[in-house]
């Protein structure tokens, strides 16, 4: 399997950059290339980066078909209110999936497709303690869940047409120091809302564990979905107390006002995050080791503790007023 050409979409994001860096250390990887609208977040040693916008369909197709990868790793997914509004995130994700996965069907050397998905694909579930396995029905109940379901459907269609394997890495909410996460951003606010009638549990995944899972899926040529979730669970109130934030109990229809106020304060609560806070978000990760050969190194509670230990932006006033600086240099 040595000398495989691997193409990574979304290489400019924190997760995509981590995936590319880990792939550079894989002995089976030969040539490595990536694409994104933004440059990689860290220095990459042997990854050829192509800066292309998701709407540049023709250039994306030409770039991928010229590279003719053996393995396509598609992590170019925009989570609503992470780096873009829900509407923009949906459009960008759809454009990227259509161009990148469509181009893969034209690559003669292609052997395997790996796509980033998420446990939001299962929807709200029937109870806060529901842990759907990979064979559970796909019933998304949020815009993000529908987007992930569409990505998996497109990838499956392309893989069937090209006669290659396809694997979906269904991630829990990804937390990391430089990962734009609407749930993580909300939990770091000074005052955090939680569902007072029923404070349901949820699970997350640390960014390095998420990247390790994607790389393992590419290495093993994953041919089915797999849930990638850290062990254990936590509730919003438990997380708030661990982070020494102010808990704000919310009842029923008060969530509409809470979401509007949180958006004004810089921490939007998109529909899938609202579901997590009010209905919980768990999944069965029992097949991670079987399918990927790895387990999550960091538990959900440890991920939350790390979240609150990350440095915050501290704004300090200038020692010399701007007007005086301009006058001194005039």
User: For residue 123, is it within any domain?
Assistant: yes
R_g (Cα) of the chain, nearest Å: 21
| Averaged pLDDT, 167-181 | 95
User: For residue 275, is it within any domain?
Assistant: no
Domain count, the chain: 1
Q: What is the pLDDT of residue 184?
A: 96
Q: What is the pLDDT of residue 29?
A: 97
Q: How many CB atoms lie within 10 A of CB 65?
A: 15
User: Which pLDDT band holds residue 326 (cuts at 50, 70, 90)?
Assistant: low
Q: How far apart are CA 163 and CA 243, in angstroms?
A: 49
User: For residue 236, is it within any domain?
Assistant: no
Please give the sequence-ordered ranges of beta strands (E in DSSP) within the chain, or none if there are none: 4-9, 29-36, 47-51, 71-74, 112-118, 165-171, 173-175, 191-195, 201-202, 204-206, 226-228, 234-235, 246-250
Local structure of 256: helix, strand or coil = helix
Q: What is the pLDDT of residue 130?
A: 82
Q: What is the pLDDT of residue 178?
A: 87
Given a contact cutoff of 8 angstroms between Cβ atoms, the answer to whether 148 and 132 are in contact is no
| Averaged pLDDT, 305-312 | 88
User: For residue 291, is it within any domain?
Assistant: yes
Q: Angle at CA 97, nearest 5°, toward 218 and 138?
A: 80
User: Which pLDDT band holds residue 31 (cuts at 50, 70, 90)?
Assistant: very high
- Host domain of residue 25: 4-177+203-231+282-296
pLDDT averaged over the chain? 93
Query: What digits encode the pLDDT tens for the residues 177-215?
Result: 989 999 999 999 999 999 998 899 999 999 999 999 999
| Averaged pLDDT, 262-291 | 96
User: Which pLDDT band holds residue 317 (cuts at 50, 70, 90)?
Assistant: low
Judged against a pLDDT cut of 90, whether residue 144 lies above it is answered with yes
User: For residue 88, is it within any domain?
Assistant: yes
Prediction pTM value: 0.92
| Averaged pLDDT, 242-261 | 95
Judged against a pLDDT cut of 70, whether residue 174 lies above it is answered with yes
Q: What is the pLDDT of residue 264?
A: 94
Query: What digits encode the pLDDT tens for the residues 102-122?
Result: 999 999 999 999 999 999 999
Query: What digits encode the pLDDT tens for the residues 46-95?
Result: 999 999 999 999 999 999 999 999 999 999 999 999 999 999 999 999 99
For residue 99, give the nearest of 35, 32, 160, 162 by alpha carbon. Answer: 35
Q: How far apart are CA 16 and CA 165, in angstroms?
A: 21
Local structure of 138: helix, strand or coil = coil
User: For residue 324, is it within any domain?
Assistant: no
Distances (CA, A) of 72 to 67, 146, 213, 220, 255: 11, 22, 15, 13, 40
Q: What is the pLDDT of residue 217?
A: 98
User: For residue 256, is it within any domain?
Assistant: no
Judged against a pLDDT cut of 70, whether residue 27 lies above it is answered with yes
Q: What is the pLDDT of residue 124?
A: 85
Query: What digits encode the pLDDT tens for the residues 35-58?
Result: 999 999 788 999 999 999 999 999
Judged against a pLDDT cut of 70, whether residue 328 lies above it is answered with no
Phi and psi at 303, nearest 5°, equal -60, -45
Distances (CA, A) of 314 to 192, 267, 317: 20, 17, 10
DSSP 192: E
CATH code at position 222: 3.40.50.720
User: For residue 101, is it within any domain?
Assistant: yes
| Averaged pLDDT, 233-254 | 96
Q: How far apart are CA 136 and CA 295, in angstroms?
A: 21
């Amino acid at each position: 399997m040595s000398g495989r050409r691997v193409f990574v979409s979304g290489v400019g994001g924190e997760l995509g950059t981590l995936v590319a860096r880990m792939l550079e250390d894989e002995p089976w990887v030969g040539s490595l290339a990536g694409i994104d609208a933004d440059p990689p977040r860290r220095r990459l040693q042997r990854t050829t980066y192509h800066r292309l916008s998701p709407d540049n369909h023709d250039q994306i197709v030409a770039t991928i078909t010229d590279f003719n990868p053996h393995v396509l790793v598609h992590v170019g997914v925009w989570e609503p209110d992470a780096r873009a509004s829900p509407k923009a995130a949906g459009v960008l994700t759809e454009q990227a999936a259509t161009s990148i996965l469509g181009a893969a069907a034209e690559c003669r050397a292609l052997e395997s497709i790996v796509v980033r998905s998420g446990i939001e694909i299962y929807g709200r579930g029937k109870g806060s303690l529901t842990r759907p396995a990979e064979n559970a029905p796909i019933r998304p109940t949020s815009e993000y869940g529908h987007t992930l379901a569409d990505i998996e459907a497109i990838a499956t269609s392309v893989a069937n047409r090209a006669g290659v394997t396809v694997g979906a890495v269904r991630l829990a909410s990804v937390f990391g120091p430089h990962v734009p996460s609407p749930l993580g951003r909300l939990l770091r606010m000074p005052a955090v809302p939680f569902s007072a009638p029923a404070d349901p549990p949820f699970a997350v995944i640390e960014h390095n564990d998420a990247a390790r899972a994607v790389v393992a899926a590419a290495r093993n040529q994953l041919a089915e979905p797999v849930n990638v979730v850290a062990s254990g669970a936590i509730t919003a109130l438990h997380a708030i107390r661990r982070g020494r934030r102010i808990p704000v109990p919310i009842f029923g229809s008060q969530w509409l006002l809470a979401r509007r106020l949180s958006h004004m304060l810089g921490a939007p609560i998109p529909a899938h995050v609202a579901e997590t806070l009010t209905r919980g978000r768990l999944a069965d990760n029992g097949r991670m080791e079987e399918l990927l050969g790895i387990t999550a190194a960091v538990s959900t509670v440890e991920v939350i503790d790390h979240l609150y230990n990350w440095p915050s932006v501290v704004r300090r006033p200038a020692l010399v007023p701007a007007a005086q600086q301009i006058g001194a240099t005039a």
